[in-house]
Structure 1
């Protein structure tokens, strides 16, 4: 499902949050799927339960998941990304690898492009 790299510059919380968000948006984790309980995922990833809980809170605040005591933590419907966007991301990944870029460098390029295309507030 997901993994945490202790050597990553990203915190465990951000690694968990971003991987789950990507899997929800690509449909790898479908709408209404139940996510593992906090303690179980923390044990599986060998991180603190607080890290998983914080990642879940951030995903919940962005609307990707919902938590109910009896029903557990589930994926909200309507957040899957469109196929053209997934294809564009795959194309970026393939080209970045072909050009010898690291994941961090490719993410930097995307962040730069994102900043250039976002409308500026007046």
Structure 2
């Protein structure tokens, strides 16, 4: 995965990098478990200060997009897409409601497919 920093942008470099990593996770270019470059390696590649990349990684870790596994490195978290967490919570709530209502899985899935079709 290649990232680029626009030196002429009004957006801070750490934010440019953060947005690009989140976009790569959302698009599937970076999948859960993908190893990210070390802070130093990415800083060298982008000609940034290591503290800038470290700040980006801290923000992404705080948001649950990535996780640091000690000396093993930094990886895309299982629930790396911040919006995916909200969708997962909604799906869980739907399944619980369907079960409380006594709706079997096939019928519940039919409702989901109908909603997806209707909403395009």
TM range (shorter): 0.5 to 0.7
Matched residue count:
82
Q: Which has the larger radius of gyration?
A: 2
The equivalent of 1:73 in structure 2 is 74
Name structure 2 gaps, 5 residues minimum.
Answer: 85-120
The equivalent of 1:48 in structure 2 is 49
| d(CA) in 1 for partners of 2:68, 2:80 | 16
| d(CA) in 2 for partners of 1:41, 1:17 | 13
Q: CA RMSD in A?
A: 1.4
User: Structure 2-normalised TM-score?
Assistant: 0.64
Name structure 1 gaps, 5 residues minimum.
Answer: 83-122
Structure 1 runs of 4+ with >3 Å offset: 79-82
| d(CA) in 1 for partners of 2:74, 2:46 | 17
**What's the offset of the Cα at 1:79?**
3.4
The equivalent of 2:8 in structure 1 is 7
User: Structure 1-normalised TM-score?
Assistant: 0.63
